[in-house]
Chains A and B, each alone.
Chain A
Amino acid sequence: MLIPFLALMRKDLRLFLSDRRAVLMSVVAPIFIASFFGYIFGGGAGNPDTSPIAVLVSDEDGSRFSQEIVTRLKAETSLDVTPATPESARDAVRRGKATAAVLIPKNFSVEAARAFLFGGAKPEIGMLYDPSHGLEMRMIQGIMAGAVMETAGKQMLSGRGSTQSGLTLPFRMSPEGVTSGRGVQYNGYAHSFGGMGIQFLLMVGVDVGIALLLLRERGVWKRMRAAPLSRGALLGSRAASSSVTSMATLIILFAFARVVFGVRIQGSMIGFLGVCAAFSMMTAAFGLLIATLGKTAEATRGIAILATLLMVMLGGAWVPTFVFPKWLQAIAVVFPTRWAMDGLDAVTWRGLGFSAVALPIALLFGCALVFGALAVMRFRWEAD
């Protein structure tokens, strides 16, 4: 019993070790991912490179009081504060260009001072935020409260012994998640279905590449190559079928999300279909490119998994990109998963029109073309 058991075990180990590249990838991939997450989450010592949260501030009050609040916010290293008008702030948050916006209304300082010293009605500070960044919103609220209280303490309490109302916040915050329209609730399923859809379609792309490598090992490949077919037709047909499958998968996913979770395409339907089509083509071309990376399916699988995880991670499908350090955020912009994610968010819960997704669509198509061209150039055409 022991002899065959050991022989079988030895055989498995031998086969595993015989493919050096596969062995290397099986070790490199987890090391890379563990190092990546350890780094972006600070590795236990806090990550000093983490980029600040983009916050827009509209100061319609313009008083010394409100200006000092803004100055304190600007001094906060975890925030990247930029002045804006209420309209441009709302538009930027809706488009995902800024995480939140603070709207300080007219007469804020007067009303806040009255409320602080004598009690009564508290003025309201508008807090517009991107509902997919709820955690950051809570953090901004805390910083905002601190800034107002410090300013109030400094400016309003100087020379006074006490306040009528005690030390309570002299204002109210009215947070508003900016979605496709006022009163339209943010549906978190829209983002999660987009993220998971993108991740699984990339996996489909990997399968396309692996299947192509396996096909080479069968007589079918020889038969196809023997026919008077161009290389473009051979690889293109595979990419087209994969694109159709991927696109159908995305549409079915969102149809399910619509029926079960009420996810709606609140923006441009053509834009939604465009993002789905462009991303599907990109994944198919990515799959073809995968097929050119390794000689065997086993070796390629490791590289493909690493590449896929990289794209998914840096595209922000697992963790929001704001937790990345600055330099990584800059790199993340080049990943097509990021554009796909932005595109799907834009036409679903953000409710934006086609113009908002035109660039992501163009970039995804461009990426598909580049990947496809590289695949055709690098593909080993000769039968084994």
Chain B
Amino acid sequence: MLEVTGLRKRYGALVAVDGVSLRAGKGETIGLLGPNGAGKTTTVSIIAGLVQPDAGEVRIDGRVLISDTDPAKRDIGLVPQDLGLYDEMSARENLRLFGALYNLEGAKLRRSMDEALDLVGLKEREKDKVLNFSGGMKRRLNLAAALLHDPQLLLLDEPTVGVDPQSRNAIFDNLEVLKKRGKTLLYTTHYMEEAERLCDRLVIIDCGKVIADDTLQGLYRMVPAANVLEIELEDGKMNGLRVEDLRSVTGVASVELRGETLRIGVSDLSANSAGILEWLVEKGHPFQHLASERASLETVFLNLTGRSLRD
């Protein structure tokens, strides 16, 4: 559905996008993950035809976008990071305008507006002016405005910025519906939890370059300690435990001691957990509680770039 090859864009001395390539198949949801200023929005802007790249090309369903009026743009729905709405107009008036930009009119436009408003749960408020909407409602309408012409590819540029958790969940529910309908979503965010929940595959971008492109599982595998075993030892059984000895056990990537609790990083939970637990018991350190957690995307990003995702 979407094929981006070797995109490059420079603003003066700043290289905003430096050879970005990515693909998104039909029905796939791709997360474009990176810190602020990484080049996500510029990449999306190039894909949407808003910005001309210095090099590289964008193909939508195999067709290269070549002009402002390229019919291939009808396959793209853009949800801009800045709210693309007229506050002085009602929700329905906004949708009528944005539908008309794609030559929609009459019954077809009305049907599209009704469907979009139903999806985002704003049918009851369709006649209200946007300036009376909450931030979350505006974000939902911002999404609805991109759906009117039934695009196959949705470009979502941080669509949940500045909204409360409830509205964020509502938007996520909407996106999951769209995903089920077979839409291809390219979702930029710097919220790891959003990417984890929604995306089939993640493209991590930093300083304008793609530094990883894989499924969530694939990305976790890049981290030496993809899982953390949290082991709470029985009272008084800490005596004599040497962290250095534990590090020599097969599969242990890292060890951290927090009071009576050990946090042991392991690369393969199913292969290594049993050996570690046996070792502890054999050495006289029985445990009373055991839990495991997966390494976060933050950890993945930190591991790949050496800095935090939210820098």
**Which residues of A does B touch, CB under 8 Å?**
217-231, 382-383
Which chain B residue lies CB-closest to A226?
Answer: B78
Chain B residues near A224: list those with CB within 8 A.
101
Given contacts A224-B101, A226-B76, 6 further A-B contacts (CB under 8 A): A218-B82, A223-B145, A225-B50, A226-B48, A227-B98, A227-B101
Of the A-B pairs whose beta carbons lie under 8 Å apart in the complex, a sample of 25, sorted by A's number, is A217-B82, A218-B82, A218-B83, A219-B81, A219-B84, A222-B45, A222-B78, A222-B80, A223-B78, A223-B98, A223-B145, A223-B146, A225-B50, A225-B68, A226-B49, A227-B73, A227-B98, A228-B69, A228-B70, A228-B71, A228-B74, A229-B69, A382-B50, A382-B52, A383-B50
Verify A219–B85 contact, CB threshold 8 A: yes
Which chain A residue lies CB-closest to B103?
Answer: A228
Q: Does B279 contact A (CB under 8 A)?
A: no
Q: Does B184 contact A (CB under 8 A)?
A: no
Please tell me which one of the listed residues A222, A230, A383 contacts residue B69 in the complex, with CB atoms under 8 A apart: A230
Q: Does B142 contact A (CB under 8 A)?
A: yes
Chain B residues near A227: list those with CB within 8 A.
73, 98, 101-102
Please tell me which one of the listed residues A220, A228, A383 contacts residue B85 in the complex, with CB atoms under 8 A apart: A220
Chain A residues near B68: list those with CB within 8 A.
225, 228-231
Q: A382: shortest Cβ distance to chain B, in Å?
A: 5
Chain A residues near B101: list those with CB within 8 A.
223-224, 227, 229
Task: Give Cα A353 to B98, complex, Å.
Answer: 45
Verify A220–B86 contact, CB threshold 8 A: yes
Q: Does B55 contact A (CB under 8 A)?
A: no
Task: Give Cα A230 to B83, complex, Å.
Answer: 22
Task: Give Cα A220 to B98, complex, Å.
Answer: 9
Interface size on B, residues (CB 8 A): 27
Chain B residues near A231: list those with CB within 8 A.
68
Q: Does B51 contact A (CB under 8 A)?
A: yes
Which chain A residue lies CB-closest to B149?
Answer: A227
A217, A222, A229 interface centre (most CB from chain B within 10 Å):
A222
Chain B residues near A382: list those with CB within 8 A.
45, 50-52
Chain B residues near A222: list those with CB within 8 A.
45, 48, 50, 78, 80, 82, 84
Verify A226–B145 contact, CB threshold 8 A: no
Verify A223–B45 contact, CB threshold 8 A: no
Task: Give Cα A219 to B146, complex, Å.
Answer: 12
Please tell me which one of the listed residues B50, B80, B102, B146 contacts residue A228 in the complex, with CB atoms under 8 A apart: B102
Q: A237: shortest Cβ distance to chain B, in Å?
A: 10
Q: A69: shortest Cβ distance to chain B, in Å?
A: 68
Which residues of chain B (55-107) have a CB below 8 Å from chain A? 68-71, 73-74, 76, 78, 80-86, 98, 101-102
Task: Give Cα A375 to B91, complex, Å.
Answer: 32
Please tell me which one of the listed residues A218, A226, A229 contacts residue B50 in the complex, with CB atoms under 8 A apart: A226
Q: A218: shortest Cβ distance to chain B, in Å?
A: 6
Task: Give Cα A223 to B145, complex, Å.
Answer: 9
Verify A223–B52 contact, CB threshold 8 A: no
Chain B residues near A228: list those with CB within 8 A.
68-71, 73-74, 102
Verify A219–B82 contact, CB threshold 8 A: yes
Task: Give Cα A311 to B268, complex, Å.
Answer: 77
Which residues of chain B (112-152) have a CB below 8 Å from chain A? 142, 145-146
Task: Give Cα A225 to B86, complex, Å.
Answer: 16
Chain A residues near B102: list those with CB within 8 A.
227-228
Chain A residues near B146: list those with CB within 8 A.
223
Chain A residues near B83: list those with CB within 8 A.
218-219
Chain B residues near A221: list those with CB within 8 A.
84
Please tell me which one of the listed residues A219, A229, A230 contacts residue B80 in the complex, with CB atoms under 8 A apart: A219
Task: Give Cα A353 to B83, complex, Å.
Answer: 52
Task: Give Cα A226 to B145, complex, Å.
Answer: 12
Task: Give Cα A277 to B16, complex, Å.
Answer: 45
Q: A297: shortest Cβ distance to chain B, in Å?
A: 16
Verify B45–A383 contact, CB threshold 8 A: yes
Q: B72: shortest Cβ distance to chain A, in Å?
A: 8
Q: A230: shortest Cβ distance to chain B, in Å?
A: 5
Task: Give Cα A224 to B45, complex, Å.
Answer: 12
Chain B residues near A218: list those with CB within 8 A.
82-84
Task: Give Cα A231 to B83, complex, Å.
Answer: 22
Task: Give Cα A226 to B78, complex, Å.
Answer: 7
Q: B11: shortest Cβ distance to chain A, in Å?
A: 10
Verify B142–A219 contact, CB threshold 8 A: yes
Which chain B residue lies CB-closest to A225?
Answer: B50
Q: B277: shortest Cβ distance to chain A, in Å?
A: 53
Verify B49–A225 contact, CB threshold 8 A: yes
